[in-house]
């Protein structure tokens, strides 16, 4: 079953056509505005084969969707109603969904959700200590995101380790422009750092990660900033960009090595939040058997992996410095005597989406 995977992000639209054995038949990365410019239409025309189904990455499934779902008019309308929970991402996913459905009429479309993997969180892990009427009226809870990436990363980790994912305690680190951690026990998410929105948790490229909610209230009350101004600043002008003047981790590492104080502070803040987050995830998992790095930074920053491993030695993490310096895709970089296996996993949300779509349709 050939699956066309459509992954609409905040700045790009990725198309991947996968054959039944997950062979990549074609791959195109388009601009975020490709739906309106006609670029998407041209890309669909260039497909070497007609897909049997289309798998769409949908960021938010709310509490309604906990598994991949065939898209019909009712589902499409329900996804639109969830836009308020993900106003930056959901409209782009739905625009791509509508455009591809029009270009490929009659081809079954499947929604695969970033939030679905985290629907296994316990009530204790998912519940915020806020007024109950907020929880009931507005759906306030921890949803978690990057679920497709965490799910794929955990199963690939188990495959490389040579054990069933159902007998491992894994912490997966999706580190890219957006970043989050997940604690996975017996193949299920038991804790994650992103929450009601993708703003919570780790320091990211332009997002602040967790801040004191009192800070937000203080800025609105004393500096008279509007909610929109605060939200824009925390989402688009914070994180590594605010600390170092750039959101590019490669530039930050280079400048830090050259003695740039701002870049060094940015790197230190990023690693501090990462390490304390991994410690929290390991506690939620009841221990740690494997630590997996994925995403742009997770896969390509030997510096971040090394700094994190040094500070996680108390958990049994020990990496081979030579293997860490230039790992191959999907590689175990653990030191021979390490109690915890540390791996670098290529981010393949497309494979996860294709597999979920095939599983549903079969």
Domain ranges of the chain: 3-113, 162-349
**Residues in contact with 136: Cβ distance below 8 Å, sequence separation at least 6, in sequence order:** none
Q: Output the CATH code of domain 162-349.
A: 3.30.420.40
Radius of gyration of the chain (CA): 20
Angle in degrees, 0-180, between the axes of helices 227-236 and 213-222, rounded to the nearest 10: 130
CA gap 113, 316 in Å, rounded: 33
Confidence at residue 98, expressed as pLDDT on a 0 to 100 scale: 95
Token readout for 301 is 């920053």
CA gap 57, 64 in Å, rounded: 16
Token readout for 308 is 């994190």
52-95 residue pLDDT tens: 999 999 999 999 999 999 999 999 999 999 998 888 889 999 99
Confidence at residue 71, expressed as pLDDT on a 0 to 100 scale: 97
CA gap 362, 358 in Å, rounded: 6
The CA distances from residue 180 to 72, 204, 281, in Å, are 31, 9, 11
Q: What is the DSSP letter of 1?
A: -
Token readout for 265 is 């502070």
CA gap 105, 164 in Å, rounded: 40
Fold exhibited by the domain 3-113: Nucleotidyltransferase; domain 5 (3.30.420)
Token readout for 175 is 């580190």
Give per-10-residue mean pLDDT for the chain (362 aa).
92 93 95 87 95 97 95 96 88 94 96 97 98 95 98 98 97 97 98 96 97 97 96 96 98 98 98 98 98 97 98 98 94 97 97 98 92
Q: Mapping DSSP to helix (H, G, I), strand (E, B) and coil, where does residue 84 land?
A: helix
- Write down the catalytic residue from 114, 318, 330, 332: 114
Confidence at residue 43, expressed as pLDDT on a 0 to 100 scale: 95
Q: Which burial class, exposed, middle or buried, applies to 140 when counting CB atoms under 10 A from its CB (0-12, 13-18, 19+)?
A: middle
Phi and psi angles of residue 189, each rounded to the nearest 5 degrees, phi first: -70, 125
Q: Mapping DSSP to helix (H, G, I), strand (E, B) and coil, where does residue 14 land?
A: strand
Q: Which of 172, 198, 199 is nearest to 183 (CA)?
A: 172
Confidence at residue 169, expressed as pLDDT on a 0 to 100 scale: 98
Evaluate the CA torsion angle 117, 55, 53, 156 in order and state its sign.
negative
Q: Do the domains 162-349 and 3-113 match in fold? A: yes
Active site residue 77: no
Confidence at residue 28, expressed as pLDDT on a 0 to 100 scale: 95
């Amino acid at each position: 079953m050939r699956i066309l995977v459509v992954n609409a992000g905040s700045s790009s639209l990725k198309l991947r056509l996968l054959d039944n054995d997950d062979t990549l038949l074609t791959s195109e990365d388009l601009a975020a505005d490709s739906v309106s410019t006609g670029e998407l239409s041209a890309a669909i025309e260039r497909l070497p084969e007609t897909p049997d189904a289309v798998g769409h990455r949908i960021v938010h499934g709310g509490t309604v969707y906990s598994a991949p779902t065939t898209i019909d008019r009712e589902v499409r309308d329900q996804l639109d109603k969830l836009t308020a929970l993900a106003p930056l991402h959901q409209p782009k996913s739905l625009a791509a969904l509508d455009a591809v459905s029009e270009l490929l009429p009659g081809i079954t479309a499947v929604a695969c959700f970033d939030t679905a993997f985290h629907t296994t969180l316990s009530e204790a892990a998912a519940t915020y200590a806020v007024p109950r009427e907020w929880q009931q009226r507005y759906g306030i809870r921890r949803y978690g995101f990057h679920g497709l990436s965490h799910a794929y990363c955990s199963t690939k980790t188990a495959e490389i380790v040579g054990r069933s994912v159902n007998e491992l305690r894994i912490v997966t680190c999706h580190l890219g422009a957006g970043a989050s951690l997940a604690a996975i026990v017996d193949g299920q998410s038991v804790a994650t750092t992103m929450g009601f929105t993708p703003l919570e948790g780790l320091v990211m490229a332009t997002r602040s990660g967790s801040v004191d909610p009192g800070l937000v209230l203080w800025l609105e009350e004393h500096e008279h900033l509007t909610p929109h101004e605060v939200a824009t600043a925390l989402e688009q002008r914070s994180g590594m960009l605010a600390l170092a003047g750039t959101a590019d981790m490669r530039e930050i590492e280079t400048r830090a090595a050259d003695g740039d104080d701002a870049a060094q502070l940015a790197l230190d803040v990023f690693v501090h939040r990462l390490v304390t987050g991994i410690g929290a995830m390991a506690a939620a998992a009841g221990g740690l058997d494997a630590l997996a790095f994925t995403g742009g930074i997770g896969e390509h920053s030997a510096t971040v992996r090394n700094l994190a491993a040094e500070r996680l030695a108390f958990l049994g993490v020990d990496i081979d410095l030579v293997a860490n310096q230039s790992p191959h895709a999907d590689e175990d970089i653990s030191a021979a005597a390490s109690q915890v296996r540390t791996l670098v996993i290529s981010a393949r949300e497309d494979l996860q989406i294709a597999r979920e779509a095939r599983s549903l349709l079969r």
